[in-house]
């Protein structure tokens, strides 16, 4: 997948998420299905996952290569990344990353701020995706808590899927709470 297609995918997936979140009743922001995250927690989780990526992409690429090494395999296509993520999720059997374990529940007063921050970070990621060289996209690797080290191109594609994954969970599990 080329840079433009990835940036467009990021935009489409985040736009769908934001639109869905904006159209939900305020109750679902702070209350979710029994034992599940609220819509606010999903939004906070997605914000917390994109910020470190944007921060890493702001660093000099030679530092990232020094810290994490270089890719030792070809970049996988989007479908393969999605398939591998689903496999890893089922292997993890509901275990969450330590940063997501005791995720605070954002207040309703935080809602607009979080949605604005998500949109800002998403625009930054699009910009960075379009600006980074193809060589760096394919050779610089970053660590992922569940997937291990991944080339930057893959981790950005994964980010698009991650948003889609949470949007689908929200649509499936939370839309029926409104009735």
CA atoms within 13 A on the CB side of 25: 10
Do the beta carbons of residue 40 and residue 106 sit within 8 Å? yes
Residue-wise pLDDT tens digits, 146-157: 999 999 999 999
Phi then psi for residue 133, to 5 deg, are: -70, 155
- Give me the pLDDT at residue 179, please: 44
For the chain, the domains span 1-21+38-92+134-179
CA distance 66 to 78: 26
pLDDT band at 173 (very low <50, low <70, confident <90, very high): confident
- Give me the pLDDT at residue 99, please: 56
- Other CB atoms within 10 A of residue 62 CB: 10
Residue-wise pLDDT tens digits, 56-90: 999 999 999 999 999 999 999 999 999 999 999 98
Token digits of residue 134: 């193809």
- Give me the pLDDT at residue 100, please: 61
- Give me the pLDDT at residue 97, please: 58
Residue-wise pLDDT tens digits, 29-56: 998 888 889 999 999 999 999 999 999 9
- Other CB atoms within 10 A of residue 10 CB: 21
CA distance 35 to 15: 27
């Amino acid at each position: 997948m080329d840079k433009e297609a990835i940036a467009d995918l990021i935009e489409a997936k985040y736009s769908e998420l934001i639109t869905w979140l904006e159209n939900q009743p305020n109750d679902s922001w702070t209350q979710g299905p029994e034992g599940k995250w609220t819509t606010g927690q999903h939004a906070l989780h997605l914000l917390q996952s994109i910020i470190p990526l944007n921060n890493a992409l702001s660093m000099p690429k030679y530092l990232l290569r020094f810290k994490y090494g270089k890719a030792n395999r070809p970049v996988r296509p989007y479908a393969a990344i999605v398939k591998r993520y689903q496999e890893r999720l089922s292997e993890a059997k509901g275990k969450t990353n330590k940063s997501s374990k005791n995720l605070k529940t954002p207040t309703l007063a935080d809602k607009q701020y979080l949605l604005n921050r998500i949109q800002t970070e998403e625009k930054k990621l699009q910009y960075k995706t379009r600006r980074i060289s193809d060589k760096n996209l394919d050779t610089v690797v970053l660590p992922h808590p569940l997937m291990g080290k991944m080339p930057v191109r893959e981790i950005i594609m994964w980010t698009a899927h991650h948003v889609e994954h949470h949007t689908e969970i929200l649509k499936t599990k939370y839309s029926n709470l409104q009735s």
